Structure 1
Amino acid sequence: MNDGLKPGTNVLAASLALVLLALPAGWAGAGTEGATTVPALWGYGVKPCSAFLATAPVDAMSTPIADEDYRRYREWLAGLVTGLNLATGRDVLRDAELDAAMLRIRTICKDHPEDDFFNASLRLVRSLGQLSGK
């Protein structure tokens, strides 16, 4: 069954979903005995919550005047959400706007300063009941 997607899209989407779900669930220690390399991770998602909090506006009213780094985090989140939406076949933000998600991630980062932006983003998606995991 092809739901209007190009051939191979479902395979790509499923692969993306598996990777995204496996990484935050403890990939570093699972099945890596003897492994000496760590997979390369790229983009603003790997930056610590402290770096995100340094750029995040204090409230929704300040979002339109946010600096360039904050907009890069927002675009990174847009890509993650788009990939997850394609991989899962549903809206992982449950009709929430990206700006609202960014404000929630700000709160998550304050509560979990040890997280990086990627894991804080997944905490939000999981809290909305759209992904299983920790």
Structure 2
Amino acid sequence: MPDFGDHVDNGIFSQILEMDDSEADRDFSMPLVLNFFEQAEETFVKMDKALIQRNLEDLSGLGHFLKGSSATLGFNKIRDSCQIIQQYGHKQTIDGASEPNEDVCLKKITEALNKAKSDTSHLEGKMKQFFKW
């Protein structure tokens, strides 16, 4: 198991790798991970559009969606950024306190989205090395 640092929860990711029939094949885990990165890219496009439209409700839903996918795979940093997007889309701080200022919410979402994109790109590179694709 390579060291993905704090990008990946090794316990969760190891459990996914254990579902493979063989380490040489990775017939279960590799398609799952590939699909995640395709899904993330599509979701980021939708998030960019929702940001332009200042649609906090859509941003929250998309953040929730990608948070779940990333959490399932143990992709911690992406999950955490998506949690921020979800919360501020609901006009709440990360602690759940009310944040009625939409401009503040959109700023926080923009920062979290940029971080999620950066972390996704970094992790995708690491996964390409790991899976040799």
* TM-score when normalising by structure 1: 0.38
Q: Which has the higher contact order (CA 8 A, sep 6+)?
A: 1
* TM-score when normalising by structure 2: 0.38
